[in-house]
């Protein structure tokens, strides 16, 4: 005897379409849309002497310029940190500092793509997916539009989503304040996720 699956419905008559509709809404009912916000800022330091082994300033995992460095415990990738926190935010799962405390030596100079992958893994464990990512980078240097294509491509590769779901915009601070004086780079990120709601209450 071969056991069938009640969900395997044969569509013969027009009325059979109603059955399918019921199954689709049943499945969709458990999914809701959540938006998380992430923010990060790191100090910029001017490199007066550029040597062969001077590291590139990394943004979104992409090498940009050598004339300035971002200071931080890990690789100081301010875009990846902000993006990671936005996903944790939508999951209500703390923040990057909680999962990877700067007090721990092992995260020193760590590649921030691992932090991002951790957040995405937590999302997949909850049967979720990313609908859209919107990133705003506030800085005077480097010019974000020069690297935005590469950054989108790299993030798309890191978390395996289509580039069309990743938006990245650079904003100058019009010379105002610390960011205007090229003392730092700040990033805001909104991540929109579709996630299964476990508790109906
Ligand atoms: Zn950071």
Ligand 1 centroid distance, CA of 63 (Å): 17
Phi-psi region of 176 (alpha: psi -120 to 50; beta: other; left: phi over 0): beta
Report d(CA 109, CA 33) in Å as an integer.
34
Ligand 1 centroid distance, CA of 76 (Å): 5
CA 142 centroid distance within chain: 20
Ligand 1 centroid distance, CA of 81 (Å): 5
Which tens digit of pLDDT belongs to each residue from 111-157? Answer: 999 999 999 999 999 999 999 999 999 999 999 999 999 999 999 99
Beta strands 129-138; 166-171: pairing state: parallel
Burial bucket for residue 197 (CB in 10 Å: 0-12, 13-18, 19+):
exposed
Which tens digit of pLDDT belongs to each residue from 4-61? Answer: 766 666 777 777 777 666 555 555 568 999 999 999 999 999 999 998 889 999 999 9
Ligand 1 centroid distance, CA of 21 (Å): 46
Ligand 1 centroid distance, CA of 78 (Å): 5
CA 40 centroid distance within chain: 12
The model carries a pTM of 0.84
What backbone phi and psi angles, to 5 degrees, belong to 88? -55, -40
Angle at which helices 144-159 and 113-125 cross, to 10°: 50
Encoded tokens for 47: 């490199």
DSSP string, 56-86: PPEETTEE--SSEEEE-SS---HHHHHHHHH
How far is CA 101 from each of CA 10, 73, 105, 107, rounded to the nearest angstrom?
A: 55, 10, 9, 8
Ligand 1 centroid distance, CA of 82 (Å): 7
Which tens digit of pLDDT belongs to each residue from 101-110? Answer: 888 888 777 8
Ligand 1 centroid distance, CA of 195 (Å): 26
């Amino acid at each position: 005897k071969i056991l069938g699956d009640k969900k395997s419905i044969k569509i013969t008559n027009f009325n059979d379409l109603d059955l399918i509709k019921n199954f689709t809404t049943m499945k969709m009912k458990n999914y809701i849309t959540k938006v998380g916000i992430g923010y990060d800022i790191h100090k910029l330091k001017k490199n007066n002497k550029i040597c062969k082994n001077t590291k590139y300033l990394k943004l979104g995992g992409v090498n940009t310029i050598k004339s300035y460095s971002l200071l931080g415990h890990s690789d100081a990738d301010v875009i990846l940190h902000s993006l990671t926190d936005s996903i944790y935010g939508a999951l209500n799962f703390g923040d990057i500092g909680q999962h990877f405390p700067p007090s721990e030596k092992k995260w020193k100079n760590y590649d921030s793509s691992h932090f991002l992958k951790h957040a995405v893994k937590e999302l997949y464990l909850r049967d979720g997916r990313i609908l859209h990512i919107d990133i705003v980078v506030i800085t005077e240097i480097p010019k974000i539009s020069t690297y935005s294509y590469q950054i989108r491509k790299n993030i798309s590769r890191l978390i395996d989503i289509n580039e069309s779901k990743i938006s990245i915009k650079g904003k100058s601070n019009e010379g105002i304040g610390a960011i205007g004086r090229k003392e730092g780079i700040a990033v805001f990120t909104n991540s929109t996720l579709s996630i299964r709601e476990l508790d109906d209450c």
